[in-house]
């Protein structure tokens, strides 16, 4: 993956993460629901955060060799 494509993907991931962790979208998860005994908001917050970390690692560790 060339540097320009990697930068574009990381910028898109940043924008998506910013939207995911921003106030208006967090209120969608603020319900009185329990999932496996855990409140939905912290569960969704940590799941989204873990997904962002995983996606960042996947993008940064992509192979740089051409096909």
In a domain, 66, yes or no: no
Residue 39 pairs in a beta bridge with 34
The answer to whether residue 24 is domain-embedded is yes
Q: What is the pTM of this model?
A: 0.82
| Residue appearing with tokens 């940590």 | 46
Is residue 28 situated within a structural domain?
yes
Tally of domains within the chain: 1
Angstrom CA distances, 12 to 7, 37, 52, 64, stand at: 9, 34, 11, 19
> For 3-54, what is each residue's pLDDT tens digit?
899 999 999 999 999 999 999 888 998 888 999 999 999 999 999 999 999 9
Domain residue limits at 44 = 3-60
Asked, for residue 67, whether it belongs to a domain, the answer is: no
- What are the φ/ψ torsions at residue 37 (nearest 5 degrees)? 85, 5
């Amino acid at each position: 993956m060339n540097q320009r494509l990697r930068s574009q993907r990381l910028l898109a991931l940043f924008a998506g993460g910013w939207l995911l962790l921003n106030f208006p979208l967090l209120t969608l998860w603020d319900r009185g629901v329990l999932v496996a005994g855990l409140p939905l908001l912290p569960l969704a917050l940590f799941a989204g955060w873990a997904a962002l970390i995983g996606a960042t690692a996947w993008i940064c560790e992509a192979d740089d060799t051409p096909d």
